[in-house]
Amino acid sequence: MQYNLIKYRKFNLLTQKDMANLIGVDLRTYANKEHGDSQFKLNEMFIIAKKLNMDISEIFLPTNFMNHEVLEA
C-alpha cells in the first residue's frame, strides 16, 4: 500500500481518476498500483512526484528506508 502517495494525493484534492489520467492508465490499473497489487513504473513515479511538487523518495520510499539493511546473498 502506497500510504504516502494516498496521503499526498488526498491532501492535494486529487482523485484516483485524476492520477490515472495523469500517468495514462485506467482507473483500475492505478488503484491496483496505489494499493500495492502492482508496481508503479519509474516514469510514472517521476510524473506523480512532479505533479505533487515533491521528491520521488518522499512519496515512494518507505518511511524507515534508511533503517533497512541490505543483506548479501
pLDDT in tens, 3-50: 999 999 999 999 999 999 999 999 999 999 999 999 999 999 999 999
CB atoms under 10 Å from CB of 19, counted, come to 23
pLDDT of residue 61: 79
User: Which region, left, alpha or beta, applies to residue 42 given φ > 0 means left and ψ of -120 to 50 means alpha?
Assistant: alpha
pLDDT of residue 70: 53
User: pTM above the 0.85 mark?
Assistant: no
Domains of the chain: 3-62 (1.10.260.40)
